[in-house]
Amino acid sequence: MEQLLKQIEDYKQEIAAFSATDEKQVEEFRIRFLGTKGIVKAVMGEMKNVPVDQKKSFGQLLNEFKVFAEEKYEALKLNGAGSQSQAASGLDLSLPGDPVPLGSRHPITMMRNRIVSIFQRLGFAVAEGPEIEDDWHNFGALNLPAHHPARDMQDTFYIQQNPDWVLRTHTSSVQIREMEKGKLPIRMLMPGRVYRNETVSARSHCFFHQVEGLYIDENVSFADLKQTLYFFVKEMYGKDVKVRFRPSYFPLPNQVPKWM
């Protein structure tokens, strides 16, 4: 046991005298004394050879040795970091840093922001809603009955665990949510991503971006809708663009005449 005590004392002197000027030397200290095959672990392993009546006193001694090595390691880490800072002190820290290249906005984001900006000038606010929507807001509240073709699996992504939830097929569901709040008048723009279970090609994708508008107030007519669209097209594509309005009709399946 006297030999072990002398060995521990020699190690403590070596630890106390150890100095490090960089992180590499600090790591060398850690490996030599505190690593999985280091000196501290080897010394602690000698407890099995200590007589039973001396284990308590030797246990305290070995624990103090371990703490001594760990405290030295922490001090070396701090001093090593300080040395690194001192070595770098020769640099002129007042000089501007190297420019960091930044990415640019996605074209879709740029187009969306431009559309929103035009409608905001007309007094429209922006409303957003969840992309995972329930059946009522996505279909039922829009008068799309259970047999409507838009509900077919070939058009809609249904949530497998719960078929009453879908990836929204349009941002019209946001209109329903805004009307449910009961706050009138409403002048809202609903931009967002929508999803359709369609074949991906060079000209289409299974998700795309849509912008819808909702205007509810007294004395609002079809003329307001037409002029709003006319203003938007002129602002978006230029004053010289020619505009033609073509009315259309999309009947529900049970309203389609037999001759169609």
Residues 157 and 216 in one domain: yes
The angle, 0 to 180 degrees and rounded to 10, between the axes of the packed helices 55-87 and 2-17 is 10
> Which tens digits make up the pLDDT trace of 160-204?
878 889 999 999 999 999 999 999 999 999 999 999 888 888 888
* Domain, as residue range, for 20: 2-89
Cα dihedral 18→22→27→32 (10° resolution): -20
153 is a domain residue: yes
Here the CATH number for the domain that contains residue 163 is: 3.30.930.10
36 is a domain residue: yes
Domain count, the chain: 2
Residues 115 and 26 in one domain: no
Greater pLDDT, 205 or 83: 205
Distance CA 248, CA 245 (A): 10
Residues 118 and 20 in one domain: no
pTM for this prediction: 0.56
Residues 130 and 201 in one domain: yes
- Kindly give the pairing relationship between strand 125-126 and strand 132-134: unpaired
Distance CA 56, CA 39 (A): 21
96 is a domain residue: no
Q: Of 29, 63, 89, which marks where a domain is finished? A: 89
Supply 194's token pair. Answer: 């929508």
Residues 150 and 39 in one domain: no
Q: Are 119 and 189 in contact, with CB atoms under 8 Å apart?
A: yes
102 is a domain residue: no
Q: Of 58, 89, 120, which marks where a domain is finished? A: 89
111-133 core/surface letters (b: 16 or more CB in 10 A; e: else): ebeebbebbeeeebeebebeeeb
97 is a domain residue: no
Q: Is the peptide bond before 149 cis (omega within 30 degrees of 0)?
A: no
> Which tens digits make up the pLDDT trace of 199-239?
888 888 888 999 999 999 999 999 999 999 999 999 999 99
66-98 core/surface letters (b: 16 or more CB in 10 A; e: else): bebbeebbeebbeebeebeeeeeeeeeeeeeee
260 is a domain residue: no
Supply 143's token pair. Answer: 């008068």
